[in-house]
Amino acid sequence: MVLDETAGTVRRTHRLRNADPLLVLAVLVLAVIAVFVVAPGAVSPHDPLSAVGQSLQPPSGRFLFGTDYLGRDIFSRVVYGTRTTLLGSLVAVTCGLVVGSVLGLVAAYFGGVVDVVVGRLVDVLLSIPGLLLSMVIVVALGFGTLNAAVAVGASSVALFARLMRSEVLTVRELGFVESSRHIGASTTRILLRHILPNSYSSVLSLVVLQFGASILWISSLSFLGYGAPPPQPEWGLLIAEGRDYIVSSPWLVVLPGAVIVAMVLSITKVSRTVRRRYES
C-alpha cells in the first residue's frame, strides 16, 4: 500500500512531462478566455461599441477579426462579449444543476408520491423541445441576457434531475448508506454527506457538457433576438448580426463562431481529462 502511494506521485510527475498536447492546447485556450473575462480592456485593441475603421474590413493586422457593417472591431467585440456569454452560461448551468439535483435527490431518496410528482414534472419538461421551452420562458420573463440564461437553465433542469435520480437510486441502496443510518445519522446528514458526494461525479461531468451546450443555446437565443439587446456585444448576437453579410464578409460569422467552437471543445477536453483522473 505504501509502495502504491509513492508509485502514485511518480506517476503524476511522469504524466506531467509527457502530457497530451491537445490537453495543453485546451488549457491554453481556456486561459486566454479567462483573461478575456477578467480584463477585456487589456486585451482588446479597440472600443467594442464605436466605429474604429471602415465597415466590413477583412481580417488584418489592425483588425484581427475584421470589422462589422458599422466599422466596429469584431475581435474587441468578441473579447468584451465573453463575460456576458460566460456569465449567462454559468447562471444557466447553476440553475439547472441546483434545481435539477435537488429534485432528483429528493425524488430518488424519498420515493413514493414525491418520486411520482417529480417524475411527471420532469416528463413534461422533457416532452417540450429545449430551445422552444427556453423561448417560451424568455418571452414570459422578458428579453435580456440574464433571463435568457435562466430560460436555458430551466430547460436543463429535467436533464439534471433525471441523471441525479438514477445515480441516487443506485447509491441509496449501497451498504454504507444503511450503515450510516444504523449508526444514527439523520436523513439530512445521509443525503448531504453520503449520498450526494457519491452520486454527483457523473452529474458534475454533465455540468461541463451542459456548460458548453449553454453557451451555444444562449448564443442561439441571442441570435434569435431574445438575449442581450444590441449594441451590447455577445457571441450569439455577433453571429446573428454578421449573418446578413455571410457571402461578402464571411469572417463576421466564421471567426466568432470559431471562438465558440474552440471554447466548447476545450471545456469538453479538460472536463473529460479531469473526470478520468478522478475516476482512476
Partner 1 sequence: MSGTARPPAIDVRGLSLSYRDRRTHERRRVLDGVDLTLEAGTTHALVGQSGSGKSTLALAVTGLLPGNAAVEAGTIALQGKVPSRRELVVARRHVLGFVPQDPLSSLDPLQRVGRQLASLLRSRDRSLSRAAAKQRAVELLDQVEIERSAEKYDSYPHQLSGGQLQRVLIAMAISGDPDVLIADEPTSALDVTVQKVILDLLLRLRSSLGLAMLLITHDLALAGERSDAITVLEHGVVRDSGPTTDVLAAPSAAYTRRLLADVPALAPDRFRETGASSPVCERAGDDDPILTVRGLTKSYHDAAGGPNRVLRGVDLTVRRGSTHAIVGESGSGKTTIARILASLTPYDTGEVRFDGAPAAGGGIPIAGPRRLQLISQNPLAVLDPRMTVRQLLEEPLLIHTELTRRERRAEVTALLDRLDLPAELSGRRPKELSGGQRQRVAVGRAIVLAPEVLVLDEPTSALDVSVQANIVELLMDLKARHGLTYVFISHDLGLVRQVSDTVTVLSRGQVVESGLTHEVLARPTHHYTRTLVDSIPGLPHTTRKVLR
Residues that bind partner 1 (CB under 8 A): 1, 4-5, 7, 10-11, 14, 174-176, 178-186, 189, 193-194, 197-198
DSSP state of 193: I
- Minimal distance in Å, beta carbon 112 to partner 1? 16
- Minimal distance in Å, beta carbon 35 to partner 1? 34
Nearer residue to partner 1 within complex by CB, 197 or 229: 197
Nearer residue to partner 1 within complex by CB, 6 or 54: 6
Closest CA to 119 of 110, 26, 89: 110
> Among the residues of the chain, which ranges form H helices?
2-17, 21-38, 40-43, 74-110, 112-127, 130-141, 145-171, 175-183, 187-189, 196-223, 235-242, 251-279
Closest CA to 215 of 149, 125, 119: 149
User: Is the Cβ–Cβ distance between 110 and 195 less than 8 Å?
Assistant: no
- Minimal distance in Å, beta carbon 175 to partner 1? 3
- Minimal distance in Å, beta carbon 67 to partner 1? 51
CA angle 98–32–260, rounded 5-degree value? 60
- Minimal distance in Å, beta carbon 206 to partner 1? 19
